Amino acid sequence: MDLTNLKARELIAGYKNRDFSVEEVVKTYIDKIEEKDKDINAYVTVCAEEALERAKSVDKKFQDREEMGILSGVPLSLKDNIAVKGVKMTCSSKMLENFIPSYDSVISERIKKSDGIILGKANMDEFAMGASTKTSYFGPSKNPLNRDLVPGGSSGGSAAALAAGECALSVGSDTGGSTRQPASFCGLVGIKPTYGSIPRYGMATLANTFDQAGSLGRDVEDAHLLLKALVGRSQLDATSVGNDSILKEIDYSSGEEAVEFLKDLRIVIPKLYMDLELDPTVKDQYEKAIDLFEKNGAKIEVVPMDSLKYVIETYYILTNGEIAPNMARFDGLRYGHRTDKYENYEEMFRKSRAEGFGDEVKRRIMIGTHILSLEFAKDYYYKALKVRNKIKTEMEEALKKDGMILCPTSPILPPKIDQDISPVEMYKADLFTVPANIAGCPSMSIPMPLVDGLSVGMELTAGRFKDHEMIKAALGFERSVK
Ligand code: GLN
């Protein structure tokens, strides 16, 4: 039996049964990373020694029949923008190539408390700006389903590690789709909960009002398990919220009968999405998904939602407006890379930043600075804030009474790694994922069965704090697809 094929919950059951030890499983994972990751490039840092140490102590807890945390002995990876005390955290940028945080993020603290085992830090687009991992300073990760293709991004290393069997669960972050889109490209489930559900303390900020950590698993139950370990308010993040909806039980033992969960669901299809020119495979899968919901008793409603036309512009204006000031802390003095030769401080800042940041980061800092400037703020930033409100209101209206938006997670299939795509073309592909971040809603991607070896994910987005309803519907859908 290849232990790396087991789901997280199957590992936990196996430990309880004494079928294998945590140490055995962690060793197998480390060997697999050793063997495969030179090619997949999913990890920036592997913590083999620490992981084995922890495995031993979790084994001992099992032996002593202590009370176990909900991730007991599950080997997982964390996106490299999430701080783990004493472990390098690069955000896949030269700027932070040698940065070692002196404290744990709330996320890693909760993983440790739940007895999860951190195998390492996963590759990503630089500072989470991108959708392919191609902006990583450490080079792109490969999609394990087809190594010529990107795994998606920005949490592409997380998805690649999980799909390659190099971890059993992974934590990503999602500012505009970065957990859901790579899940969709790699045949996984990716959940972004309601904004604030997972405290952001210790997760490098991209755009504060959009950022939310997300969980990646090989199926709905696994992704939900990880989420349960991470949610809950923390005093360290004033924007964090309690969200009991994620902790509500779902009957995963129900097998095929879970398709019943789809009965009488209100599924919203934005009219705009019907008229879009999508990749033919994606369109075909979308139609299949709608049919499946309908066949199992869901009610399909086509709703105009005209403001969704403006999501890309709104998202990129507002996030760049938040990104530019957030990136100011990386100046070679407080944090990060410092240039070797400089005459004065002014030059030190300028050269350190010029050397430390990649093109995409620089592009966004420049756009953000421009649109926030006195002269342009009213034409761009303030206008986009108003449009954000309009989109939010329209989504709240469409999602009330437990409605859920169904759409593909990405309008395109994973592009080839060596394919040249302009930044604007890449931005446009975020069309389906950014609305949930604009409105703070929970949203998740569930894979359809592979088509010619490729994965197409379907996305469900629910009203705020309706995470439970969304995950339950996703389970019903997952079981109906099989
Ligand atoms: N692709 C989007 C962007 O580049 C999403 C990034 C994210 O969610 N971190 O901004």
Average pLDDT for 453-480: 98
Q: How confident is the model at residue 383 (pLDDT cuts 50, 70, 90)?
A: very high
Kindly tell me if the per-residue pLDDT of 334 is higher than 90.
no
Query: What is the residue-wise DSSP string for 434-471?
Result: HHHHHHT--EEEEEPPPBTTB--EEEEEE-TT-HHHHH
pLDDT for 254 equals: 87
Q: How far apart are CA 354 and CA 452, in angstroms?
A: 43
- Collapsed DSSP state (helix, strand, coil) of residue 268: strand
The DSSP output letter for 235 is: T
pLDDT for 256 equals: 87
Known catalytic residue at 79: yes
Ligand 1 center–CA 28 separation, angstroms: 33
Q: What is the pLDDT of residues 24-42, one digit of tens each?
A: 999 999 999 999 999 999 9
Q: How confident is the model at residue 215 (pLDDT cuts 50, 70, 90)?
A: very high
Kindly tell me if the per-residue pLDDT of 179 is higher than 90.
yes
Is the separation of the CB atoms in 214 and 172 below 8 Å? Answer: yes
pLDDT for 417 equals: 98
pLDDT for 88 equals: 98
Known catalytic residue at 170: no
Q: How confident is the model at residue 183 (pLDDT cuts 50, 70, 90)?
A: very high
Known catalytic residue at 283: no
Kindly tell me if the per-residue pLDDT of 482 is higher than 90.
no
Pocket-forming residues, ligand 1, beta carbon under 6 Å: 128-131, 154, 173-178, 206, 319, 430
Interstrand relation of 443-447 and 189-192 (parallel, antiparallel or unpaired): antiparallel
Q: How far apart are CA 280 and CA 266, in angstroms?
A: 26
CA neighbor of 298 nearest in space, from 266, 256, 325:
266
Q: What are phi and psi of 473, to 5 degrees?
A: -65, -40
Ligand 1 center–CA 424 separation, angstroms: 12
Ligand 1 center–CA 189 separation, angstroms: 18
Q: How confident is the model at residue 255 (pLDDT cuts 50, 70, 90)?
A: confident
Q: Cβ of 359: how many Cβ atoms within 10 Å?
A: 10
Q: What is the pLDDT of residues 4-24, one digit of tens each?
A: 999 999 999 999 999 999 999
CA angle 256, 260, 265 (to 5 degrees): 140
Q: What are phi and psi of 404, to 5 degrees?
A: -140, 135
Atom number of ligand 1 nearest to Cα 207: 9
Q: What is the pLDDT of residues 98-147, one digit of tens each?
A: 999 999 999 999 999 999 999 999 999 999 999 999 999 999 999 999 99
The protein residue with its alpha carbon nearest to ligand 1, atom 4, reads: 130
pLDDT for 133 equals: 98
Looking at every residue in the chain, the average pLDDT score rounds to: 97
Is the separation of the CB atoms in 16 and 115 below 8 Å? Answer: no
Q: How confident is the model at residue 159 (pLDDT cuts 50, 70, 90)?
A: very high
Q: What is the pLDDT of residues 392-417, one digit of tens each?
A: 999 999 999 999 999 999 999 999 99
Average pLDDT for 327-348: 94
Q: How far apart are CA 200 and CA 187, in angstroms?
A: 26
Catalytically annotated residue among 92, 154, 155, 480: 154
Query: In terms of C-beta density within 10 A (0-12 exposed, 13-18 middle, 19 or more buried), how is residue 111 classed?
Result: buried
The pTM of this model reads 0.97
Residue from 135, 178, 327 whose mutation best tests the ligand 1 pocket (most atoms within 8 A of CB): 178
Atom number of ligand 1 nearest to Cα 210: 8
Identity of residue 449: P
CA angle 176, 178, 179 (to 5 degrees): 120
Kindly tell me if the per-residue pLDDT of 186 is higher than 90.
yes
Query: What is the residue-wise DSSP string for 55-102?
Result: HHHHHHHHHTTPPPPTTTT-EEEEETTB--TTS---TT-GGGTT---S
Q: How far apart are CA 235 and CA 212, in angstroms?
A: 16
Tokens of 429: 């592909």
**Percent of the chain's residues with pLDDT above 70:** 100
**Percent of the chain's residues with pLDDT above 90:** 97
CA angle 21, 23, 24 (to 5 degrees): 65
Q: How far apart are CA 106 and CA 128, in angstroms?
A: 19
Q: How far apart are CA 166 and CA 438, in angstroms?
A: 32
Identity of residue 232: G
Kindly tell me if the per-residue pLDDT of 169 is higher than 90.
yes
Ligand 1 center–CA 206 separation, angstroms: 9
pLDDT for 1 equals: 86
Q: How confident is the model at residue 211 (pLDDT cuts 50, 70, 90)?
A: very high
